[in-house]
């Protein structure tokens, strides 16, 4: 447009920029405080969306607090200006909402299940399997054998499969072959796809290793809770929790720790 007429002045939308200024400032607040109002509004909105029972329970708490029931608004991140309305609605219902969510600890089956049947001991193993499953899609089996996740040289081209052997799924592989045979795509385009698929998988592994808590000591030591993994654990796993939660696990004397050691013989 400016090339056609350099006299035109384009100033954008100052109003929108002002609102974005508040949004970016809020992101800095969130980085330091650890509290994200946008996440709160999304969680609350989707919790009550489409659930007559939940709305009914909230209405009862509103009556108990002598507060008018107001339906929770659903914030959409791409419509940032709705954030203020959603937060205002939550604040007006803060008392009933607080009582409602506190009551869930006892009523919700999911919370009872988490208390009675904890599965945290499975987390480290599942994360490890996830990373290795991704690696197996583009790496040679010999490069994975006997290696811990953080020791896998997944970026080394010598450890990577050739493009035609990448595991991109049967349907995708068959579609590529069909299109190539029909002349709808060229060998160069197939090669470009293979390079893109390899880059996708490498980036997925890199992100997963960097972000997942694979080195978290607590998750690694929880394996001793699972009977099926007990043979892979040592007494050091139990001693980790005794040392970390000294008030809850008072096994600090030599005789008491000897008894703990006997459990792993």
% of the chain at pLDDT higher than 90:
49
CB within 8 A of 259, min separation 6: which ones? 251
pLDDT in tens, 82-127: 888 999 999 999 999 999 988 876 566 666 666 667 778 888 889 9
Predicted TM-score (pTM) of this structure: 0.59
Residue 199, Cβ density class (10 Å: 0-12 exposed, 13-18 middle, ≥19 buried): exposed
Give the residue ranges of DSSP H helices in 65-93. Answer: 82-92
Give the residue ranges of DSSP H helices in 108-153. Answer: 109-116, 123-136, 141-144
Q: pLDDT at position 108, please?
A: 64
Q: pLDDT at position 246, please?
A: 74
More confident residue, 264 or 179: 179
Say whether pLDDT at 237 is over 80: no
Q: Is 13 left (phi over 0), alpha (psi -120 to 50) or beta?
A: beta
pLDDT in tens, 44-71: 999 999 889 899 999 999 999 999 999 9
pLDDT in tens, 17-54: 777 787 788 888 888 888 888 889 999 999 999 889 89
């Amino acid at each position: 447009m400016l090339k056609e007429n350099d006299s035109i002045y384009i100033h954008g939308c100052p109003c929108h920029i002002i609102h974005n200024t508040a949004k970016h400032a809020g992101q800095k607040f969130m980085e330091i405080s650890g509290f994200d109002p946008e996440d709160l509004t999304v969680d609350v909105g989707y919790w009550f969306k489409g659930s007559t029972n939940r709305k009914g329970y909230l209405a009862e708490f509103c009556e108990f607090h002598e507060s008018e029931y107001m339906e929770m608004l659903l914030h959409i991140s791409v419509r940032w200006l709705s954030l203020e309305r959603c937060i205002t609605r939550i604040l007006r219902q803060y008392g009933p909402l607080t009582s409602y969510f506190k009551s869930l600890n006892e009523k919700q089956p999911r919370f009872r299940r988490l208390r009675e049947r904890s599965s945290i001991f499975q987390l480290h193993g599942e994360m490890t399997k996830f990373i290795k499953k991704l690696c197996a899609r583009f790496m040679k089996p010999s490069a994975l054998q006997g290696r811990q996740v953080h020791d896998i040289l997944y970026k080394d081209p010598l450890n990577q499969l050739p493009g035609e052997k990448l595991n991109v799924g049967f349907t995708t592989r068959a579609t590529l072959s069909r299109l190539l045979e029909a002349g709808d795509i060229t060998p160069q385009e197939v090669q470009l796809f293979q390079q893109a698929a390899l880059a996708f998988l490498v980036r997925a592994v890199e992100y997963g290793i960097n972000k997942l808590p694979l080195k978290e000591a607590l998750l690694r030591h929880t394996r001793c809770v699972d009977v099926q993994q007990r043979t892979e654990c040592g007494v050091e796993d139990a001693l980790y929790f005794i040392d970390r939660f000294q008030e809850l696990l008072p096994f600090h004397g030599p005789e008491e720790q000897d008894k703990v050691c006997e459990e792993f013989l």
